[in-house]
Chain A
Amino acid sequence: MTVLIVEDERTLARELGIFLYQQGFACTVARTAREARAQLADTPFDFVLLDLGLPDGDGLALLAEAKQQELAAAVIILTARGAVEDRISGLELGADDYLAKPFSLPELLARMHAITRRRFGLHKPLAAVGAFELDLQARRLLFGGQEVSLSVKEFDVLSYLVLHKNRVMTRLQLTEHIWGNLPESGFDSNYIDAHIKNLRKKLGLHADVDWLETVRGIGYRVRV
């Protein structure tokens, strides 16, 4: 999949590019609105990651212009401005999602996958994990075709780990994914530990869950 990163901060654009490249995306960087216009006119991208604070113009204006020209790419707005009005305007102009900087890169990937499933229909309906199958669309965990009862948060933790399989997810990354950016979000690693404990208990009733690993001092990983 192709991604256009519209970001004037060199370091940010580079780190985003490295991460997405490792995830199998082909990335192009535009540092100004003008560069972005030229790239969009030239290449059909699947994703546009759009920073609003561009040196030569407002990202929202660029978005409006691109949507007028029937831009097919999915657009995720990335901004440090964080004003509610910006979020609303962006979504009204046709952006698919909005992330306030700084966000974690795995969170960005999760949003991109959600958009891919929603917009492009490019998803495997079921992801195999050990003896279980995860239906991300219907938000269900299946064992031998039977649903295993999970709470909303337990499913969120598990699907996030499965999405980033074979990668260590820190407790902080998991917390941010589950509780988002609520101020004083009550971040407490104990909650994640409790959810993992419950998951192991519930899944362990059906089959072995040694694929759900604890990485001491750091977090958890689904080893597939």
Chain B
Amino acid sequence: MKLSTKFSLFNAVSRVVILLVLAGALPLAMSHLARLATDQRLAQKKEKVLRLLRRNGISAFITAEQSSYGSYNLLKEEFISLEAIPPGPGINEIEDSKRAVEDEIVEYRVLSYAFAQDGQNYLLEIGRSTGSIGETERNFRHYALYMLLVAVALTTLADVAFFRYLLEPFYTIIRQRLKNAHHPAAFNFAPIKTSTDDFRYLDESLREMMTTIQASFTKERKFIADASHELLTPLAALQYRFDNMLADESLSDENQLRVVDSQRTVHRLRTIIRSLLMISKIENDQFARAETVPLAPLVAEVCDEVQDRLAVLGLTLHQDLTPDFTVLHGNRSLLFTLLYNLVSNAIKYNRAGGRIDARGRPTPGGGYVLEVRDTGVGIAREQLPRLFLRFDKGATADPDSYGLGLSIARTIADLHGISLEVNSIEGLGTSFLLGFPAPAPGLAEPL
């Protein structure tokens, strides 16, 4: 889970918890507040009525024929009553009480207040229906709840947006420094723009590390170039000398054989050095991958190259790459070597009169599988895991095998992001499967 998601989730959850707590406490608080507000209102009304009574006198409400006055509004939400009472203890209270109003029992919050005027005691009662209080309370509660929900949603969205903005440099660092840095040679050292010190520190540390890596790769490249020159030059001198010795007609037959044997040793050394240097160069990204390579013509070219070897062993080679597949951003010469080595293996370990198949088929995900299958001697099960290791010749008795062909094939496949699998049944044959990935969406063809 992303850091920003975690932050936003935590904030959202914490707000929801607060909301729930508030939602639980809100009715009680609201009811208490509503009651307080009602009581305050009743007290204000009491003062107002008392002012009216002092100004206009009791007679404005209670005439000589009446002993009391009562009034309520149309919906019976409020009432006011005034009645003469015998002298007694002072009353000044507010309480809930039920009253019968026109054959209907209504619950009121009633303020009762006893006072004396013109030598007569009166009881003033002002009531407000608790139903109307409850409604106010409900409205109050709903609005509060809606406001809280809106507040949670808005602040959560704000959090998500802010975290995204805040962490953008972090993701840029990941993309630019780690994910898209395929090789030290192509490192991008441009500083990432950020106002966050922590990210700046992370970026600087990564750039320092990249500089170190790049330096060591540069050293390795130089070593490869030097080794190439320093190892192959003395071999060349030996090779020329042997060539000249063989041209000497006075050389005895015995010595001629010795020279030929030495020549084979030089050839062996040369091939090993070249193969190892090739692997190193591939691993060191010294081969450009800027070509568009259709597979069918490449397979045809490989087949053409081995025609004479097929004829010598009486082998048949069948190609079927319909539909064809095009590798974007590949190195044609390396892909040729990869296929050549697999086909060469299929020839080397086949039976006389055997068959080789090179078949391609698209995969559901837009990729492609190219299979090179032979009807040869197969590979022992215990040998399969070691098949692509350098210098592992397995059970082959071939003196001309250096155990590097499949190692080179694996290195080239890795460079192009091609999976390389092998299946084999001893005595029946071997199948190499090359899995070409689907072209990345939006990947432009090289010019």
A-side interface residues toward B, CB under 8 Å?
Answer: 9, 11-12, 15-16, 18-19, 22, 53, 80-84, 101-106, 151-154, 167-168, 170, 172-173, 176, 181-188, 190-191, 194-195, 215, 217-219
Q: With contacts A183-B275, A185-B271 known, is A19 near B240, CB below 8 A?
A: yes
Q: Which residues of the other chain, B, contact A181 by a CB distance below 8 angstroms?
A: 274
Q: With contacts A82-B228, A105-B244, A172-B267 known, is A153 near B236, CB below 8 A?
A: no
Interface hits, B213-257 → A, CB 8 Å: 225, 228-229, 232-233, 235-241, 243-244, 246-247, 256-257
- Rounded to whole Å, the gap between the CB of B49 and the closest CB of chain A is 106
Q: With contacts A182-B340, A217-B257 known, is A191 near B309, CB below 8 A?
A: yes
- Rounded to whole Å, the gap between the CB of A107 and the closest CB of chain B is 9
Asked if A172 contacts B264 (CB within 8 A), the reply is: yes
Distance, CA A103 to CA B236, complexed state (A): 7
Asked if A106 contacts B243 (CB within 8 A), the reply is: yes
- Rounded to whole Å, the gap between the CB of B262 and the closest CB of chain A is 11
Distance, CA A182 to CA B271, complexed state (A): 9
Q: Across the A-B interface, how many residue pairs have beta carbons closer than 8 Å?
A: 133
B-side interface residues toward A, CB under 8 Å?
Answer: 225, 228-229, 232-233, 235-241, 243-244, 246-247, 256-257, 260, 263-264, 266-267, 270-271, 274-275, 277-278, 281, 286-287, 305-309, 311-312, 333, 337, 340-341, 344, 347-348, 398, 400-402, 404-405, 408
Q: Which residues of the other chain, B, contact A103 by a CB distance below 8 angstroms?
A: 236, 239
B241 is contacted by which of A15, A80, A176, A188 (Cβ under 8 Å)?
A: A15
| CB nearest to B408 among chain A residues | A183
B309 is contacted by which of A12, A16, A152, A186 (Cβ under 8 Å)?
A: A186
Q: Which residues of the other chain, A, contact B266 by a CB distance below 8 angstroms?
A: 102
Asked if A151 contacts B229 (CB within 8 A), the reply is: no
Asked if B246 contacts A81 (CB within 8 A), the reply is: no
Q: Which residues of the other chain, B, contact A173 by a CB distance below 8 angstroms?
A: 243
Q: With contacts A168-B256, A183-B341 known, is A16 near B240, CB below 8 A?
A: yes
Asked if A53 contacts B312 (CB within 8 A), the reply is: no
- Rounded to whole Å, the gap between the CB of A180 and the closest CB of chain B is 10
Q: Which residues of the other chain, B, contact A12 by a CB distance below 8 angstroms?
A: 233, 236-237, 240
Q: List 6 A-B contacts (CB under 8 A).
A: A15-B244, A80-B228, A83-B286, A102-B239, A182-B305, A183-B274
Q: Which residues of the other chain, B, contact A84 by a CB distance below 8 angstroms?
A: 287, 333
B404 is contacted by which of A83, A183, A187 (Cβ under 8 Å)?
A: A183
| CB nearest to B276 among chain A residues | A183
Distance, CA A186 to CA B345, complexed state (A): 8
Distance, CA A84 to CA B332, complexed state (A): 12
Known: A170-B246, A183-B337. 20 other contacts (CB 8 A): A15-B243, A16-B240, A19-B243, A19-B244, A82-B277, A151-B308, A152-B308, A170-B260, A172-B260, A182-B337, A184-B341, A184-B401, A184-B404, A186-B347, A186-B348, A186-B400, A187-B400, A188-B348, A191-B312, A218-B260
- Rounded to whole Å, the gap between the CB of B308 and the closest CB of chain A is 4
| CB nearest to B311 among chain A residues | A151
Q: Which residues of the other chain, A, contact B236 by a CB distance below 8 angstroms?
A: 9, 12, 80, 101-103
Q: Which residues of the other chain, A, contact B243 by a CB distance below 8 angstroms?
A: 15, 19, 104-106, 173
Q: Which residues of the other chain, B, contact A151 by a CB distance below 8 angstroms?
A: 307-308, 311
- Rounded to whole Å, the gap between the CB of B128 and the closest CB of chain A is 96
Q: Which residues of the other chain, B, contact A217 by a CB distance below 8 angstroms?
A: 257, 260
- Rounded to whole Å, the gap between the CB of B372 and the closest CB of chain A is 15
A102 is contacted by which of B256, B270, B408 (Cβ under 8 Å)?
A: B270
Q: Which residues of the other chain, A, contact B312 by a CB distance below 8 angstroms?
A: 190-191, 194-195
Asked if A183 contacts B271 (CB within 8 A), the reply is: yes
Q: With contacts A15-B240, A187-B400 known, is A81 near B228, CB below 8 A?
A: yes
Q: Which residues of the other chain, A, contact B271 by a CB distance below 8 angstroms?
A: 183-185, 187
Q: Which residues of the other chain, A, contact B404 by a CB distance below 8 angstroms?
A: 183-184
Q: Which residues of the other chain, B, contact A187 by a CB distance below 8 angstroms?
A: 267, 271, 400
Distance, CA A102 to CA B85, complexed state (A): 133
A184 is contacted by which of B256, B277, B344 (Cβ under 8 Å)?
A: B344
